[in-house]
Amino acid sequence: MITAERKPMEEILEFVRPYSRILLVGCNECVTVCAAGGRKEVGILSAGLQMALMKEGKTLDVKEVTLERQCDPEYVEELVTYIDQADIILSMACGCGVQEIARRYKEKPVYPALNTKFMGASERQGIWAERCQGCGDCLLGITGGICPIARCSKRIMNGPCGGSTQGKCEISSDVDCVWQLIWDRLKALGMENRYEDIMAAKDWRSSRDGGPRKIIREDLAE
């Protein structure tokens, strides 16, 4: 999923202070799962903003809506009934949701209430970690199902580097050395002999380096 964290309250307050009516929009997908921008977080932020502004002697009119998917035009369309009553839209979706709103409602400013972080997975309750960078040409079949692009601090494709220490990465003892993980997994799979195959320089065109990407499915496109 796409993970996100709420921006600091003060930064969000800066966005809303000049206005009196905001449309606060959550999303029912990834940001709900990572507890950053679902219905619950929308309620908490709404109350927090109103309270903070009340202390400053202002009233804030907040309309709370949580869409099924903010990155989908079909659901974003649902905001049409509320848009006229709002000065701005404050989005609690990932950057994709924020941009979908900006694309649809050209006349209203939209602000992000979250910092979108990474594509990751839940390691345990309350902890999410990065897993994939969407490089566009997946190598997981060679690396035992563990991604060096997203999870090696230096995205080394033929690791581990000389800084790997007791399973941890040179940048911090809180970060696993992904090449230790890959090696352990290759061993467990009896695939150690694969280790000495050199992974050639990557063609980054399939990644962000090739410019903004698009998927066109002729069979589905209208």
Partner 1 sequence: MKTESNIEKILASGQLVVTSECGPPRGAVPEKVKEKAEMLRGYVDGINVTDNQTAMVRMSSLAACIIIKQMGLDPILQMVTRDRNRLAMQSDIIGAYAHGINTMLCLSGDHPHFGDHPMAANVYDLDSIQFIQMVKKMRDEGKFQGGEDIDTPPKMFIGAAANPFADPFELRVARLAKKIKAGVDFIQTQCVYNLDKFETWMKGVCDRGLHEKVAILPGITPMKTAGMARYMKNKVPGMDVPDELVKRMAGVPKEKQAEEGIKISIEAIERLKEVEGVRGFHIMAIEWEQKVPEIVEKAGLLPRPQF
Q: Which residues bind partner 1 (CB under 8 A)?
A: 153-167, 170-172, 177, 180, 183, 195-196, 198-201, 204
- Residue number, 21 or 202, with CB nearest to ligand SF4: 202
- Residue number, 28 or 153, with CB nearest to ligand SF4: 153
Instruction: Determine which residue in the list 154, 187, 194, 205 makes contact with ligand SF4, applying CB under 6 A.
Output: 154
Burial of 110 (0-12, 13-18, 19+ CB in 10 A): buried
Q: Compute CA distances 208 → 4, 29, 114, 133, 134, whole Å.
A: 20, 24, 22, 9, 8
Residue 158 binds: one of partner 1, ligand SF4, none (C-beta under 5 to 8 A by kind): partner 1
Residue 198 binds: one of partner 1, ligand SF4, none (C-beta under 5 to 8 A by kind): partner 1
Establish if 138 lies at the interface with ligand SF4 (CB under 6 A).
yes
Per DSSP bridges, beta strands 114-124 and 88-91 are unpaired
Establish if 135 lies at the interface with ligand SF4 (CB under 6 A).
yes
User: Please, what is the minimum distance in Å from the beta carbon of residue 209 to ligand SF4?
Assistant: 13
- Cβ atoms of 83 and 104 within 8 Å: the answer is no
Establish if 199 lies at the interface with ligand SF4 (CB under 6 A).
no
Residue 134 binds: one of ligand SF4, partner 1, none (C-beta under 5 to 8 A by kind): ligand SF4
Residue 138 binds: one of ligand SF4, partner 1, none (C-beta under 5 to 8 A by kind): ligand SF4
Instruction: Determine which residue in the list 4, 93, 101, 169 makes contact with ligand SF4, applying CB under 6 A.
Output: 169
Site string for ligand SF4, 94-133 (x = CB under 6 A): --------------------------------------xx
Q: Which residues pair with 146 in a beta bridge?
A: none
- Residue number, 38 or 148, with CB nearest to partner 1: 148
Where along the sequence are the contacts to ligand SF4 (CB under 6 A)? Answer: 132-135, 138-140, 147, 149-150, 152-154, 156, 159-161, 163-164, 169-170, 177-179
